[in-house]
Amino acid sequence: MSLALQAESLGKCYRVDRGDPDAAGSYRTLRDDLVKIAGAPLRMLRRGVNAKRAAEPFWALKDVDLEVKPGEVVGLVGRNGAGKSTLLKILSRITRPSTGRATLTGRVGSLLEVGTGFHPELTGRENISLNGAILGMSRAEIARKFDEIVAFSEVGPFLDTPVKRYSSGMYVRLAFAVAAHLEPEILVVDEVLAVGDAGFQKKCLGKMQNVAGEGRTIFFVSHNLAAVRSLCSRCVLLDGGRIIMDGSSDDVTDHYATLVEDRVRGQSDGPIKADRFSLYGSGEGYFLHPSQGEREYSMLCGDPLTLEFEIEAPSALTEVTTGVSLNAITGGRVVSMSSKVQNIPSRCGDSRRWVVRCEMGAIPLNAGTYTATIYVGNGIVDVAKFSDAFLIKVAEHDVFGWGNSLPGASSWGPMYWAPTWDIGPAIAEGLKA
């Protein structure tokens, strides 16, 4: 049987210019650049062969061998920089491989970035026709699917507006609608679905399930492991540009979750530096310190959970707001909490360093591993986010009075709840008990 994809020794190498180490991190003016250009020949003579070593090879993808049968739905997972997007760009013929080759059988529809294949000056209507033509569709085929594409994308009122005026959500809705409805034999979807709202993401996953049911091949990249599990029968784990695991989605995502857990635990010593948080505004210099030197919590189902940490900033803020989100290690947010939403005032004064204590009580987490992400605000907007600041391991507990070996409990989801029950006999209307 022919294969939808056959990749052999596939690799992609980039040349990374390390630049002048003497000028690293320094600000340069136009005059500095002109002086540097004028002196370049002399520097080349002085450095000789060492000057050529400034540009170092970087293998974004290396020695990838992969075979995919028609109709398979394959998830690609791995941390940022693992090579997932590079592989999809090669499969979509956007970039050429440096080594090896990839043979694809059938028409490929790609959605790698917001607005992939769209011309910003053309209207939504014109871009549907353009994108369809790029995919090799005839005018008759495009016309037959046109109304369905517009209905799915929900951009009908703006169909004759240039797409450069679309929001990112409108962009991705229309792009996905075109890619999914013009019937490519192979559909390649990157993390762009994260741009859409929850309803749109659910709609897209349903559409991809329908596409898979029609026997077409799908490559799906996502950091939401729950979505990968539900959509994909097979999963490939990439790390450092290489395939380190290829198997069932459950096995691969479980292994990847273990790697994520080890990575979070391995960074548990000392304050979290710049590689552990992102900034939304001008909050440069924020640091997070666990108050008691702990970033890993172990607890039982139903036990109370309290997170305590310190925030340090380069300048004083009269108001501080914080938020905490608990996330499943396999992907997906479980619950969010915010001092701003609850209108809890801070007692910081003009301090540059604050202690935050978040008492959640007996939060109903099921057995599993979770991470906590911390948000810091200035009383108006969030200015910094500390990703995976804490690792929380919840062990099974006799929360229902049924023992720890209850069959199927691990598949109940991230939370349990103990409501009040009343179960009694049904009484027919008009009849006495």
Answer yes or no: is pLDDT of 408 > 60. no
> What does the alpha-carbon distance between residue 389 and residue 373 come to, in Å, rounded to a whole number?
5
Whole-number Å distance between alpha carbons of 402 and 419: 16
pTM surpassing 0.85?
Answer: no
- For the residues 14-20, what does the mean pLDDT come to? 65
- Start-end ranges of CATH 2.70.50.60 in the chain? 274-398
275 or 264: which leads in pLDDT: 264
Residue 12: the pLDDT is 92
Between 428 and 92, residue with greater pLDDT: 92
The predicted pLDDT at position 365 comes to 84
- Is it the case that residue 63 has pLDDT exceeding 80? yes
Predicted confidence at residue 282, as pLDDT, reads: 47
For residue 61, the tally of other CB atoms under 10 A from its CB is: 29
- Percentage of the chain modeled with pLDDT above 70: 72
pLDDT > 90? residue 383? no
CATH of domain 274-398: 2.70.50.60
Q: What percent of the chain has pLDDT over 90?
A: 8
Rounded mean pLDDT, 107-128: 80
| Under 8 Å between Cβ of 334 and 365 | yes
pLDDT in tens, 198-233: 677 777 778 777 877 788 898 988 877 777 887 888
Once rounded to an integer, what is the mean pLDDT over residues 360-364? 84
The confidence score (pLDDT) of residue 29 equals 64
Adjacent-strand bridge partners of 382: 377
- Residue 154 pLDDT exceeds 60: yes
In angstroms, the CA 143 to CA 358 distance is 56
- Pick the residue with more confidence: 115 or 208? 208
Phi then psi for residue 80, to 5 deg, are -60, 135
From-to residues of CATH 3.40.50.300 in the chain: 61-261
pLDDT in tens, 323-356: 899 988 766 788 889 888 888 888 766 777 788 8
pLDDT exceeds cutoff 70 at 274: no
Check residue 398 and give its pLDDT: 53
Cα 250 from chain centroid (whole Å): 18
When the candidates are 3.30.420.110, 3.90.1530.10, 1.10.1660.10, 3.40.50.300, the CATH number that belongs to 61-261 is 3.40.50.300
Q: Are strands 186-189 and 353-361 parallel, antiparallel or unpaired?
A: unpaired
* Contact between residue 184 and residue 158 where contact means Cβ atoms under 8 Å apart: no
| pLDDT of 65 over the 70 cut | yes
Strand pairing category for 108-111 and 186-189: parallel
Residue 228, pLDDT score: 84
308 near 291, Cβ under 8 Å?
yes
**Predicted confidence band at 403 (pLDDT cuts at 50, 70, 90)?**
very low
If DSSP codes are grouped into helix, strand and coil, which group holds residue 37?
helix
Token code pair at residue 269:
């010593």
Counts of helices then strands in the chain (DSSP H, E): 9, 18
The residue with greater pLDDT, 425 or 241, is: 241
Q: Provide the terminal-to-terminal Cα distance of the chain, rounded to the nearest Å.
A: 67
Tokens 């370049």 correspond to: 40
**Closest to 72 (Cα-Cα) out of 246, 236, 245, 233:** 233
How far, in Å, CA of 403 to CA of 259, rounded?
30
Mean pLDDT rounded to a whole number for the chain:
76
